[in-house]
Amino acid sequence: MTDAAGSDPLPRLSPAAADLLRRIEERSALIGVVGLGYVGMPLALAAMQAGFRVLGFDINGPRVVQINRGETHIRHIPAAAVAAAVATGRFEATAAFERLDEPDAVLICVPTPLTRHREPDLSFVAGTARAIAARLRRSQLVVLESTTYPGTTEEVVRPILEEGGLKSGVDFFLAYSPEREDPGNTDFAAPAIPKVVGADGAEALRLAEALYGSWAARTVLVSSPATAEAVKLTENIFRAVNIALVNELKVVFDAMNIDVWEVIEAAKTKPFGFMPFYPGPGLGGHCIPIDPFYLTWKAREFEIPTRFIELAGEINTRMPLFVVDRLAAAIDRRLGKGLSGAAVLLLGLAYKKNIDDTRESPALRLIELIEARGATVAYHDPFVPEIPPTREHARLAGRRSVPLDPEVIGRFDAVVIVTDHDGVDYRLVVEHAKIVVDTRNACARAGLTSDTIVKA
Ligand SMILES: NC(=O)c1ccc[n+]([C@@H]2O[C@H](COP(=O)([O-])OP(=O)(O)OC[C@H]3O[C@@H](n4cnc5c(N)ncnc54)[C@H](O)[C@@H]3O)[C@@H](O)[C@H]2O)c1
Q: Kindly give the number of the ligand 1 atom that is closest to the alpha carbon of 40.
A: 16
Nearest CA to ligand 1 atom 21: 37
DSSP 388: P
Q: CB atoms < 10 A from the CB of 287, how many?
A: 24
CA of 35 to the centre of ligand 1 (A): 6
- β-pair type (376-380, 195-199): unpaired
Q: What is the pLDDT of residue 232?
A: 98
Q: What is the pLDDT of residue 181?
A: 79
Do 161 and 310 have their domain in common?
A: no
* pTM score: 0.93
pLDDT above 90: percentage of residues in the chain: 91
Do 281 and 400 have their domain in common?
A: yes
CA of 214 to the centre of ligand 1 (A): 22
Q: What is the pLDDT of residue 132?
A: 98
Tens digits of per-residue pLDDT, 40-83? 999 999 999 999 999 999 999 999 999 999 999 988 889 999 99
Tens digits of per-residue pLDDT, 114-163? 998 989 999 999 999 999 999 999 999 999 999 999 999 999 999 999 99
Do 295 and 432 have their domain in common?
A: yes
Tell whether 305 is covered by a domain: yes
Q: What is the C-alpha to C-alpha distance for residues 382 and 350, in angstroms, rounded to an integer? A: 10
**Which residues form ligand 1's pocket by a CB distance below 6 Å?**
34-40, 57-60, 63, 109-112, 124, 127-128, 146-147, 179, 181, 183, 286-287
CA of 371 to the centre of ligand 1 (A): 31
Task: Name the burial class of residue 394, with classes exposed (0-12), middle (13-18) and buried (19+) by CB atoms within 10 angstroms of its CB.
Answer: exposed
- From 188, 223, 258, give the residue that closes a domain: 223
Q: Tell me, what amino acid is at 420?
A: D
Phi, psi of 172 (to 5 degrees): -135, 175
CA of 121 to the centre of ligand 1 (A): 13
Do 345 and 209 have their domain in common?
A: no
Q: What b-and-e string marks burial along 245-263, b requiring 16 or more CB atoms within 10 Å of the CB?
A: bbbbbbbebbeeeeebbee
Tell whether 228 is covered by a domain: no
Do 331 and 421 have their domain in common?
A: yes
Pocket residue to mutate for ligand 1, from 286, 291, 294, most atoms within 8 A of Cβ:
286
Do 313 and 347 have their domain in common?
A: yes
Q: Kindly give the number of the ligand 1 atom that is closest to the alpha carbon of 63.
A: 39
Q: How many CA atoms lie within 13 A of 424 on its CB side?
A: 26
The total of structural domains in the chain comes to 2
For the sheet with 2-3, list strands across it.
2-3, 219-222, 195-199, 173-176, 141-144, 105-108, 30-34, 53-57, 91-94
Q: What is the C-alpha to C-alpha distance for residues 87 and 14, in angstroms, rounded to an integer? A: 36
Tell whether 231 is covered by a domain: no
Q: What is the C-alpha to C-alpha distance for residues 321 and 344, in angstroms, rounded to an integer? A: 15
Judge whether 436 and 331 are in contact, CB under 8 Å.
Answer: no
**Residue 197 is part of which domain span?**
2-223
Instruction: Find, among 158, 289, 187, 224, the residue nearest to 6 by Cα.
Output: 224
Judge whether 233 and 294 are in contact, CB under 8 Å.
Answer: yes
Pocket residue to mutate for ligand 1, from 33, 34, 36, 38, most atoms within 8 A of Cβ:
38
Tell whether 261 is covered by a domain: yes
Q: What is the pLDDT of residue 7?
A: 45
Tell whether 91 is covered by a domain: yes
Phi, psi of 263 (to 5 degrees): -60, -45
Mean pLDDT of 313-341: 97
Tell whether 232 is covered by a domain: no
Q: Kindly give the number of the ligand 1 atom that is closest to the alpha carbon of 110.
A: 24
Q: Phi/psi zone of residue 139: left (φ > 0), alpha (ψ -120 to 50 degrees), beta? A: left
Instruction: Find, among 131, 128, 143, 140, the residue nearest to 229 by Cα.
Output: 143
Do 189 and 243 have their domain in common?
A: no
The pLDDT confidence band at residue 11, using thresholds 50, 70 and 90, is low
Do 154 and 255 have their domain in common?
A: no
Q: What is the C-alpha to C-alpha distance for residues 53 and 30, in angstroms, rounded to an integer? A: 5
Tens digits of per-residue pLDDT, 178-207? 999 787 777 877 778 999 999 999 999 999
Do 189 and 287 have their domain in common?
A: no
- From 175, 195, 223, give the residue that closes a domain: 223
Do 124 and 197 have their domain in common?
A: yes
Active site residues: 287
Nearest CA to ligand 1 atom 10: 146
Tell whether 100 is covered by a domain: yes
Q: What is the C-alpha to C-alpha distance for residues 456 and 436, in angstroms, rounded to an integer? A: 10
Nearest CA to ligand 1 atom 22: 37
Beta bridge partner(s), residue 221: 197
Tell whether 134 is covered by a domain: yes
Give the H or E element holding residue 383.
none
Nearest CA to ligand 1 atom 26: 35
CA of 240 to the centre of ligand 1 (A): 20
Nearest CA to ligand 1 atom 35: 35
Tens digits of per-residue pLDDT, 293-325? 999 999 999 999 999 999 999 999 999 999 999
Do 174 and 298 have their domain in common?
A: no
Task: Name the burial class of residue 373, with classes exposed (0-12), middle (13-18) and buried (19+) by CB atoms within 10 angstroms of its CB.
Answer: middle
More reliable by pLDDT, 355 or 200: 200
Give the H or E element holding residue 143.
strand 141-144
Residue 335 has pLDDT above 90, yes or no: yes
CA of 337 to the centre of ligand 1 (A): 45
Do 250 and 195 have their domain in common?
A: no
- From 193, 223, 253, give the residue that closes a domain: 223
The total number of residues shown for the chain amounts to 456
Q: Kindly give the number of the ligand 1 atom that is closest to the alpha carbon of 127.
A: 31
Domain of 168, CATH number, reads 3.40.50.720
Residue 1 has pLDDT above 80, yes or no: no
Q: What b-and-e string marks burial along 170-200, b requiring 16 or more CB atoms within 10 Å of the CB?
A: ebbbbbbbbbbbebbeeeeebbebebbbbbb
Beta bridge partner(s), residue 417: 347, 438
